[in-house]
Amino acid sequence: MDRIGTDIQYAARLLRDGKLVAIPTETVYGLAANALDPGAVLRVFEVKERPSFDPLIVHVGSKEQALGLISDPPEEALDLMNEFWPGPLTLVLAKRDLVPDLVTSGLPTIAVRMPAHPMALSLLRSLPFPLAAPSANPFGYISPTSAQHVIDGLGDKVAYVLDGGSCRIGVESTVLGYKDGAWVLLRQGGVAQESIEEHVQIGAVQASSTSRPEAHGMLSSHYAPRTPLVLGDPEALLPNYAGARVAVLSFQERYSGGMVDLVLSPSGELTEAARNLFALLRQADASGAEVIIAERVPQVGLGRAINDRLARAATERDV
Ligand code: TXA
Ligand code: MG
């Protein structure tokens, strides 16, 4: 059997046997394991080299399955599920006892979402258990948005990659928690903050805090290419790197002067920019450039998630 393929039944068999399978979602590829099997979940942490204090997202095939994992959800959580699932919204809610501590890193809460990719949904609905799945990349590196990206990063450490093509959204899900009666935005992502605010009031945005691993696992360097990345205005920054091999990653405009010019969205659309973000970051990283200069995008809608990922990828911020 090839390591990359489209055989959902084969993927299901491997997962029932406690193996790891990379699955496509609308956001990024996930490295999936039976969420109720601590042994399988442990291998996810090992393969990713992920610190055990960074909890995983549990993927479900139905709202009923989610309700079997969470305890006493607020009414608004059900509204949010109805509105945004399947889709790129992860809810962090009180967990039930059957969820292994390893999945939640010992927290009393669980992160759950129903992904919108048809292959992921049909896989989930063919299994008697939910799937714990972080992004299918070595910890700290750029998340994968194609089956080949998964193999590039994890190689034969993953039994099978279910190939669902390029991810439609391209940035990870929005993570929304509920604490002391208020919603807290923990990570900007595929559902825009503005869209959530049409349904519930967000009490606090903690999405840019980088030093609370227990709450969010967002260490300061994350989603990061190996090449140093500087975030700022390419026009102003380029002269500082005269003579160096520079890759420029810009939003809409093309900046000549670098060795490689990559544009997130020639038409200036944030959805397109999000879809291209991780593949272009990988391309910049593989280009042989000594430094990547990346430009911020407008800070609205999906732009918030894109800027967040760029900031976390940056070794330096400027301008
Ligand atoms: O789009 C996505 O969310 C992708 C796809 C595969 O679904 N998954 C993903 O997983 O991005 P991961 O592990 O790379 O990010 C999960 C985030 C982490 O920042 C983690 O700290 C947070 O969710 N998280 C998980 N459980 C949590 C909890 N109980 N409380 C607070 N944050 C939690
Ligand atoms: Mg990740």
pTM of the model: 0.95
For 148-170, how does the pLDDT look when each residue is reduced to its tens digit (9 = 90+)? 999 999 999 999 999 999 999 99
Q: What is the pLDDT of residue 256?
A: 82
Could you read off the pLDDT of 48-76 as tens digits, one per residue? 999 999 999 999 999 999 999 999 999 99
Residue 220 banded pLDDT, cuts 50, 70, 90: low
**Looking at ligand 1, which atom is closest to the CA of residue 31?**
6
Q: At which residue do the structure tokens 């190689």 appear?
A: 155
Residues 4-205: name the CATH superfamily.
Answer: DHBP synthase (3.90.870.10)
Q: Contact, 213 vs 54, CB < 8 A?
A: yes
**Ligand 1, closest atom to CA 109?**
29
Q: Is 30 near ligand 1, meaning CB less than 6 Å away? A: yes
Helix (H, G, I), strand (E, B), or coil: what is residue 313? helix
CB of 114 sitting under 6 A from ligand 1:
no
Ligand 1 lined by 41 (C-beta under 6 Å): no
The reported pLDDT for the residue numbered 315 is 78
Distance 272 CA to ligand 2 centre (A): 20
One of 2.60.40.420, 3.40.50.11030, 2.60.40.290, 3.40.470.10 is the CATH number of 229-317, namely: 3.40.50.11030
Asked if pLDDT for residue 269 goes beyond 60, the answer is yes
Sequence spans of domains, the chain? 4-205, 229-317
Ligand nearest to the CA of 107: 1
Query: What's the pLDDT tens digit per position in 83-129?
Result: 999 999 999 999 999 999 999 999 999 999 999 999 999 999 999 99
**pLDDT given for residue 211 in this prediction:** 39
Find out whether 59 and 32 touch, Cβ atoms under 8 Å: yes
Q: Report the b/e string of 58-96 with b at 16+ CB within 10 A.
A: bbbbbeebbbebbeebeeebeebbeebbbbbbbbbbebe
pLDDT of residue 208: 55
Q: For the segment 271-293, what is each residue's pLDDT rounded down to a tens digit?
A: 999 999 999 999 999 999 999 99
Would the CATH topology of 4-205 be identical to that of 229-317? no
- In angstroms, the CA 255 to CA 123 distance is 43
Distance (angstroms) between ligand 2 centre and the Cα of 274 equals 15
Pocket of ligand 1 contains residue 95 by CB under 6 Å: no
- Determine whether the shortest distance from the Cβ of 274 to ligand 1 is under 6 A: no
Ligand 1 atom nearest to 113, measured from its CA: 7
Nearest-ligand number for the alpha carbon of 305: 1
Dump the DSSP string for 258-284. Answer: BSEEEES-TT--HHHHHHHHHHHHHHH
Residue 319 above 60 pLDDT? no
Query: Does the C-beta of 308 come closer than 6 Å to ligand 1?
Result: no
CB of 174 sitting under 6 A from ligand 1: no
Residue 209 has pLDDT above 50, yes or no: no
* Cα distances (angstroms) measured from residue 33 to each of 15, 22, 136, 162, 225: 6, 9, 11, 13, 26
**28 touches ligand 1 (CB under 6 Å):** yes
pLDDT tens digits, one per residue of 9-52 = 999 999 999 999 999 999 999 999 999 999 999 999 999 999 99
pLDDT at residue 221, rounded to an integer: 65
| Among protein residues, the one whose CA lies closest to atom 10 of ligand 1 | 134
